[in-house]
Amino acid sequence: MRNIEVNVGNVVVGKENKIVIQTMCNTSTTDVKNSYNQCIQLAKAGAQIIRLTTQGIREVEALGLLKQKLRRAGVLTPLVADVHFSFKVAIAAAKVADKVRINPGNFAKEEELAKREFANLIEVCKTNSTSIRIGINHGSLGERITAIYGNTPQGMAAIALEWIEMAEKSNFDQIIISLKASNVLVMTEAYKFLYKVMEERGVLYPLHLGVTEAGNGYEGRIKSAVGLATLLKLGIGDTIRVSLTEDPMNEIPVAKFIAKYFEDKSNIDKKYPTNVVYDCLNYQDFILKVSCDYGPLLLEKKIDNFNLSGTILGEDILEKDIQVFKGNLLQASRRKFTKPEYIACPGCGRTLFNLEKVFKEVKKRTSHLAGYNIAVMGCIVNGPGEMADADYGYVGEGRDRVSIYRGKDLIYRSVPQEEAIDKLLELIEQDVRNKVFLPRNG
Ligand code: SF4
């Protein structure tokens, strides 16, 4: 078996190396001052790789300045350019960034051109020692793949394999693959499937794990923990991101906890009794520990339920809090849906409004809609494509305008932000009355 190590700046990913923690800035990349400050904070907190949105040549130039500034300050954390839709930008970014992330789904309409451009990108990466993340997203697989496989984990793995083969044809192995989805079952199945195929081919490329658009609060943390734990327990995964619709600083302790948990082999091999008392230092540790232990068993239907109690610094956790947490865990593991399922991106430099605040408000106003999948996305460029599975979507168009979607259909465009949640609710209520769209999660 060839086990590939990938260099991302001064960080090595894959093979026997420890799980690497990464995150993404939510600043505008052209705002070098604020991006610099956020990178410093994130690096201090433990982010080992930091990604920034790089939508155009201006952002590539800003990324170059940012990198110089960080290096002058002695901060060596590798920077990743997150590029969508443009090989021209990806090629320019490859001369500046330590890694370039591209999404094959963005090029599904011009595949022949994409093949040539990908080969060109690889040559620039070879010259500049830049690695590439082939970042597949469940929401944007392209018509050819979905016509063959549907919008499935197999489709995600198939497109990844095509791009792996293209890289191999160019004799390039500095690639990391991600197969993100907000549905934890789809995400874990996709990675398992690709891992098996890579094993059969005899070459294991590093995998970047993440539950995308996981949302916020305890629900977002639980969802991420279930997805990541299910794979890390199987030895699948080399680098992780916990995507939260919150300040990216909040992602780091969660990712660190999960990575550290699975450095301890006894947590990987654990056999679980169905009645456990957890003694933890704080509530976040409690939910993460239990989610890492029981999430995979629930998701893979090895158990249906379990008895649980816990203490925080010796104080009993209230039974009502345990029951709320278990409800969230059962929903994250896709075993029982008692409230709406939210799909919310973490936001990035493309987000021009207060996504965190809007998402909290949408959650508050739609909490009665159990069974629905509701998306809140930060930008119109990637939002609609990435909110796979959403029954309804609230997608930011810019600073104060919003698009409202039913599934993949744009229903209202350019709604003023202050009216947008009302408009979303009005659409759902009208659909309920007309029996147009019924909740999918039972
Ligand atoms: Fe950024 Fe969200 Fe748009 Fe993705 S969907 S590019 S995270 S704003």
**What pLDDT is stored for residue 387 in this prediction?**
85
Q: Which atom of ligand 1 is nearest to the CA of 396?
A: 8
Confirm or reject: Cβ of 383 under 6 Å from ligand 1.
yes
- Centroid of ligand 1 to alpha carbon of 385 (angstroms): 10
Mean pLDDT of the chain: 93
How many Cβ atoms are within 10 Å of 321's Cβ, its own excluded?
A: 15
* 2-209 under CATH 1.50.10.20, yes or no: no
pLDDT (0 to 100) of residue 436: 75
Measure the CA angle with vertex 248, ends 242 and 251; round to 5°: 35
Distances (CA, A) of 346 to 42, 164, 379, 401: 15, 27, 11, 19
Nearest-atom index, ligand 1, CA of 351? 8
What separation in Å is there between the alpha carbon of 349 and the centre of ligand 1?
8
Q: How far is the CA of 346 from the centre of ligand 1 (A)?
A: 7
Pocket probe mutation, ligand 1, options 28, 89, 345, 358, max atoms within 8 Å of Cβ: 345
CATH 3.30.413.10 fits 341-434, yes or no: yes
| Residue 118 Cα to chain centre, angstroms | 23
pLDDT tens for 160-219 read 999 999 999 999 999 999 999 989 999 999 999 999 999 999 999 999 999 988 889 999
Q: What is the DSSP letter of 214?
A: B
Question: Does the Cβ of 350 fall within 6 Å of ligand 1?
Answer: yes
Does the pLDDT value for residue 82 go beyond 90? yes
Q: What is the DSSP letter of 211?
A: B
Confirm if 136 and 185 have CB atoms less than 8 A apart. no
**Measured in angstroms, how far is the CA atom of residue 317 from the centroid of ligand 1?**
36
| β-strands 392-396, 373-377 pairing | parallel
Question: Measured in Å, how far apart are the chain's first and last C-alpha atoms?
Answer: 43
Q: Identify which of 382, 387, 394 to mutate to test ligand 1's pocket (most ligand atoms within 8 A of the CB).
A: 382
Residue 2: both structure tokens together:
């060839």
Q: How confident is the model at residue 438 (pLDDT cuts 50, 70, 90)?
A: low
Q: Name which of 287, 409, 393 is nearest 340 in CA terms.
A: 393
Residues in a beta bridge with 419:
none
User: Is the Cβ atom of 347 under 6 angstroms away from ligand 1?
Assistant: yes
Domains of the chain: which residue ranges?
2-209, 269-332, 341-434
User: Cα angle at 209 between 269 and 87, to 5 degrees?
Assistant: 160
Specify the pLDDT at position 122.
Answer: 98
CA pair distance 363, 308, nearest whole angstrom: 27
CA of 203 to the centre of ligand 1 (A): 32
Strands 315-316 and 307-312: antiparallel
Closest CA to 309 of 270, 283, 275: 275
Looking at residue 441, what is its pLDDT?
60
Average pLDDT of the segment spanning 130-135: 98
Q: Which two tokens stand for residue 391?
A: 């029954």
Q: Are 174 and 206 in contact, with CB atoms under 8 Å apart? A: no
- Quote the ligand 1 centre to 54 CA distance (angstroms): 11
Distance 415 CA to ligand 1 centre (A): 19
Residue 59 contacts residue 92 (beta carbons within 8 Å)? no
Q: How far is CA 378 from CA 235, 272, 359, 395, in A?
A: 33, 40, 10, 6
Give the closest residue (by CA) to ligand 1 atom 3.
Answer: 379
The answer to whether 153 touches 189, Cβ cutoff 8 Å, is: yes
Examine the pLDDT at 309 and tell me if it is beyond 70.
yes
pLDDT at 421: 95
Q: What is the pLDDT of residues 154-165, one digit of tens each?
A: 999 999 999 999
Nearest CA, atom 6, ligand 1: 382
Express each pLDDT in 95-114 by its tens digit. 999 999 999 988 877 888 88
CB atoms within 10 A of CB 328: 22
131 Cβ contact partners less than 8 Å away, ≥ 6 residues apart: 6, 7, 8, 98, 99, 100, 125, 174, 175, 176
Rounded-to-integer distance, Cα 229 and Cα 22, Å: 16
Å from CA of 278 to ligand 1 middle: 36
Residue 100, SS3? strand
**CB of 378 closer than 6 A to ligand 1?**
yes
Cα torsion 394, 332, 210, 382 to 10°: value is -10
Closest residue by Cα to atom 5, ligand 1, is 383
Mapped onto helix, strand or coil, the DSSP state of residue 370 is coil
Q: Which residues contact 205 (CB under 8 A, 6 or more apart)?
A: 4, 6, 14, 164, 173, 175, 176, 177, 198
pTM of the model: 0.93
Condensed to tens digits (0 to 9), the pLDDT of residues 336-355 reads 999 999 999 988 888 998 99
Q: What angle is formed at CA 141 by the lines to CA 136 and CA 143, rounded to 5 degrees? A: 160
The 10s digit of each residue's pLDDT in 42-51 is 999 999 999 9
By the 10 Å C-beta count (0-12 exposed, 13-18 middle, 19+ buried), 254 is classed as buried
Mutate which of 381, 403, 405 for ligand 1? The one with the most ligand atoms within 8 Å of its CB, which is 381
Nearest CA to ligand 1 atom 4: 382
Contacts of 423 (CB under 8 A, 6+ apart): 402, 404, 412, 415
CA pair distance 279, 366, nearest whole angstrom: 34
The pLDDT assigned to 439 comes to 64
Give φ, ψ of 20 to 5 degrees: -95, 135
Strand 203-204 to 275-280 pairing: unpaired
Banded model confidence at residue 143, pLDDT cuts 50, 70, 90: confident
The vertex-411 CA angle with 145 and 418, nearest 5°, equals: 125
Can you say whether the dihedral through the CA atoms of 25, 28, 34, 35 is positive or negative? positive
Instruction: Measure the CA–CA gap between 48 and 75, rounded to whole angstroms.
Output: 11
C-alpha 164/C-alpha 132 separation (Å) is 11
